[in-house]
Structure 1
Amino acid sequence: MHYIGVDSGGTKTTFTLFDDDLARVDTLRLGTTHFQQVGYDGMERLLAEGIDELVRRNDVGEFGVGFGIAGFGEEASVADRIRESVARVAGERPYTLMNDGEAALAASLALGDGIVLESGTGSIAFGICDGRVERCGGWGHQIGDEGSGWWIGKQLLAAFSRESDGRAPRGALHDVVMEGLGLAEEFDVIGYVRDDLADDRTKTAALSRLAARAAESGDPEAVAIFEAAAGELAELAVVLSRELFGRGEAGGLEGGAGEEPVAVTYAGGTYKVGELILGPLRAMLPAWCKLVDPAYDPDMGAVLLLRDRLG
């Protein structure tokens, strides 16, 4: 039997075919299937297209599907619509459906206990302890999504404005933004935000690459953006380590000194910048948490749970 893992995020959707031993056979990437960006019909069409293409080009027989879908489980009406679409796409095949953050949790910790800090276009954290799952963050870009690629992009634009008018020393960030966005004048950024970004989460998140380039050049404002992002993500871990593992509660000695540290891992495109964000994140986590590398990529998470359910 084969398995198809679907990792649906705010920027792209990854479809991965695994064999019965969970070895990767083939991978396909399409655009986002987030319902807020492509609608429910667009989501269903793209999910079916990705699965059908993998099956066609690999001549797959019997298979199951693990769906990790961004936005699933946050609102009852949304969850119902996503369930209906996924059920039609899966048909008679075995499948499992969960939020993409839960899938990242299962994959990153190999079904073990701990916390995953997911940061891509948006941000959310999930934790699991003895089968109990809790989440923190994930309120969407209009309310939160602190520490996400979208958030970093917004901070970059704010820092550019400060460097442009002298509220902060002008550094590499100013030049990187001018060149990266093709601006002739500094105030052209206003039209760029209004007409090109147009509140598009994916395009705004893509600006995080410019922030990384400026930070790598040593711009203090850009470095501070990634340090602040790490702080926002570390706060999510602190909350979940308290709620799920009882660490850091009032009266506790360093939140449980002498006990095994809570495993904290990460998933999402924001972490492609490496130590720019992982370094400060490692430093900002409390003593009772330990940052560990993810065991598997997120596209395997829902498949691991489906395979476990099927025995």
Structure 2
Amino acid sequence: MRWLGIDGGGTKTAFSIYDESLRQVDRIVLPTCHYAQAGLTGMRAVLAEGTERAIATGHLGPRFGIGFSICGFGEDAEADRAAKDAARDIAQGRPYALVNDVEAAWAAGLDMRDGIALIAGTGSIALGVRAGRTVRCGGWDFEIGDEGSGGWMGREVLRAFTRQADGRDARGPLYDLVRRELALENDFDIIGRARTLLADRTQTAALSRLASEAARADDASARAIFERAAAEEADMVGAIVRRLFRDVADSPAAVPVAYIGGTFNAGDLILNPLSDALPSCCRLVAPAHEPDLGAVLILRDRLDKDR
């Protein structure tokens, strides 16, 4: 059997085709299917279009399963019903699994093993799994949470600019980067620009790139953003450790923590302070697989158990 893995995140929706050995043979990327951004009709349209385009490649063949991983699934009753209806209709009788993107990220990041998946992309969330028990932390959405995510860092970039602009903090490379990126003629122009930017989580998250550029240029404010982001991410991990891994809390590096999401593309800027901030029982590990494969692994596991 071949497989179609769908990773519906807050920025994009990826459709990856896998052969019988789970080797990726093709990939299609469409805009986000997140219901809060695309709407319920838009969510269904993106999922349907991507699946149709994947089938049209000819790589899937007549027999395949579909793993749907949808950002925000399980958090809104109306959206959940729409996602379930869409997945059922799109699958057309084929085997499928529909899961939240954090569950898929755990499956891919830790290869279905016990541990903690830490996700920081457009939003942020962590999921711990141990002997079939799960504990979630974070994921309170863009408006009130998502600490340590790209969206959160984007807001922090704007705040850091204002502090450098009015002299509360020393001006560094971040100040000029923001002025150039947002084409500001006057520092106060950022007030109007922020209203537009903060209304779109994807645009806000894109500003996190400026934090990386500024930090690489030794901007103290930008480096502090990464340190605060790491502290927020470690806080989520710590909460899960206290609830799920308390008995090994004093055992060094006993709990693997897979890091997943675009925020970690900053490399050592975020990974070094994160490693330092994690509980001593935790160890950072690179994800075992790309997130697109996560829902497929869950589906395959369910099918194996049903045999």
Q: Distance in 2 between matches of 1:141 and 1:17?
A: 30
Aligned partners of 2:115 and 2:255 also within 8 Å: yes
1:4 is paired with a residue whose SS is strand
Structure 2 residue 94 is the aligned partner of structure 1 residue 101:
no
> Structure 1, residues 229-272: CA drift from partner, whole Å, max 9, x if none?
01000011111112111258xxxxxx2336x6111111111111
Q: Distance in 2 between matches of 1:139 and 1:25?
A: 35
1:58 is paired with a residue whose SS is coil
Q: Please list every run of at least 4 consecutive aligned residues from structure 1 whose deviation after the TM superposition is greater than 3 angstroms.
A: none
TM-score, normalised on structure 2? 0.96
Q: Distance in 2 between matches of 1:144 and 1:172?
A: 28
Q: Distance in 2 between matches of 1:256 and 1:96?
A: 37
How far apart are 1:78 and its partner, in Å?
A: 2.8
> Structure 1, residues 15-47: CA drift from partner, whole Å, max 9, x if none?
000011101110010100000011111111110
2:157 is paired with a residue whose SS is helix
Aligned partners of 1:211 and 1:222 also within 8 Å: yes
Q: Distance in 1 between matches of 2:78 and 2:14?
A: 25
Q: Distance in 2 between matches of 1:77 and 1:244?
A: 31
> Structure 1, residues 118-153: CA drift from partner, whole Å, max 9, x if none?
011111111100011111000101111100100000
CA RMSD in angstroms comes to: 1.3
1:153-172 pair list within 5 angstroms: 153-172=154-173
1:57-72 pair list within 5 angstroms: 57-59=57-59, 60-72=61-73
TM-score, normalised on structure 1? 0.95
Structure 2 residue 297 is the aligned partner of structure 1 residue 296:
no
Give the corresponding residue for 1:257.
Answer: 251
Give the corresponding residue for 1:15.
Answer: 15
| Match of residue 280, structure 1, among 250, 273, 282 | 273
Give the corresponding residue for 1:252.
Answer: none
Aligned partners of 1:40 and 1:85 also within 8 Å: no
Give the corresponding residue for 1:115.
Answer: 116
How far apart are 1:88 and its partner, in Å?
A: 1.6
1:202-241 pair list within 5 angstroms: 202-241=202-241
Aligned partners of 1:2 and 1:64 also within 8 Å: yes
Give the corresponding residue for 2:2.
Answer: 2
Q: Distance in 2 between matches of 1:98 and 1:173?
A: 39
Give the corresponding residue for 1:41.
Answer: 41
1:129-208 pair list within 5 angstroms: 129-194=130-195, 196-197=196-197, 199-208=199-208
Instruction: Report percent identity of matched pairs.
Output: 50
Give the corresponding residue for 1:251.
Answer: none
Q: Distance in 2 between matches of 1:290 and 1:100?
A: 22
Q: Distance in 1 between matches of 2:75 and 2:126?
A: 13
Paired residues, what number?
Answer: 303
Q: Which amino acid aligns with 1:122?
A: G
Aligned partners of 2:105 and 2:260 also within 8 Å: yes
Q: Distance in 2 between matches of 1:224 and 1:72?
A: 33
Structure 1 unaligned regions, length at least 5: 249-254
How far apart are 1:198 and its partner, in Å?
A: 5.2
Q: Distance in 1 between matches of 2:156 and 2:65?
A: 41
Aligned partners of 1:138 and 1:144 also within 8 Å: yes
Q: Distance in 1 between matches of 2:83 and 2:14?
A: 17
Give the corresponding residue for 2:84.
Answer: 83
Aligned partners of 2:198 and 2:204 also within 8 Å: no
